Amino acid sequence: MKRYNHVIVIGVDGAGAFVKQADTPCFDRIFAEGAVTYSALASNPTISAECWGSMLLGVGPEVHKLTNGIVSSTPYPVDSAFPSLFRRIREVMPDAELGSYCDWNPITFGIVENNQNVANATARDTDLMPMICDYIREKKPTFLFTQLDSVDGAGHGHGYGSEAHLRRIHEVDELMNDAYEAVKEAGILEDTLFIMIADHGGFGTGHGGWTDEEKYVTFAASGKGVQKGAIEEMNIRDLSAIVLYALGIDAPAFDEQGWTAQVPAGIFADAVLPEYRDISHLTGAAPRRSKVAHTSELI
């Protein structure tokens, strides 16, 4: 059953769970009646390609095997056994308007197939958001994925959780609101699932390890039929299952060697869902245990 005609995702790189500490009046208002968690579990390692890849492909890094180097230099295979959300949507909805607007262009280049007629643009956050808003107003996309990179830059430059990092989260909060207002202006708010998600957090000025600061991230959803309250258990790869569920597209069967995205309990009020499966044993990333902080990402 199709629940929404539009799904819009605002991805905030490097925000982790620090959104809870920052001054985010727009986030607080947009998701006041929505489903929110500050403990969605990132992929292991907590690096951009591994995490965004998990979100858009519905499989873990141990399956998709993407790294920052790969997505920066190699187009995503158009015939991969693990299609992106864009390909999955296109196969069922051939006329769907699809967009990928990312500050960090390797997402569009290395995680999204280049033969799916996906509108795209890349620019720094403050320049990219007006393009995003114009696209929403003009095209009313079925699925739009965006990624804003400056929060991660502030974390690397000044420290995650630092005053500068939290200030940039506040500034990006205002950019996110621009997108939300564009949805209103396009006249599609009542039929849109609006999502904000982070890929990872950070420890000190780096990330890639498995400390609480790195592995726990923010996810929030707002829209008709969204259940108000906290989401108890979620992995970031679940974004794929959530988007397909919202658009009424059947997801693949759960497979520990492949698709492991699930729709978490506590998002959709009318959802009748199978019991949520613990997948921590697949990666060795025990969800409630911190390890020694380290970073393996090339800056």
| Residue 291 domain-assigned (yes or no) | no
| Residue 288 domain-assigned (yes or no) | no
Residue 198: which CATH number?
Answer: 3.40.720.10
Model confidence over 145-172: pLDDT tens digits? 999 999 999 999 999 999 999 999 999 9
Percentage of the residues of the chain whose pLDDT score is greater than 90: 89
- Structure pTM? 0.95
Residue 282: what pLDDT?
79
Model confidence over 89-132: pLDDT tens digits? 999 999 999 999 999 999 999 999 999 999 999 999 999 999 99
Residue 287: what pLDDT?
57
| Residue 46 domain-assigned (yes or no) | yes
| Residue 78 domain-assigned (yes or no) | yes
| Residue 260 domain-assigned (yes or no) | yes
Give the pLDDT band of residue 244 (cuts 50, 70, 90): very high
Nearest to residue 109, comparing CAs of 147, 73, 63?
A: 73
The residue segments making up the domain with residue 79 are 6-282
Percentage of the residues of the chain whose pLDDT score is greater than 70: 95
| Residue 292 domain-assigned (yes or no) | no
Number of domains in the chain: 1
| Residue 153 domain-assigned (yes or no) | yes
Peptide bond connecting 75 to the previous residue in cis, omega within 30 degrees of 0 = no
| Residue 113 domain-assigned (yes or no) | yes
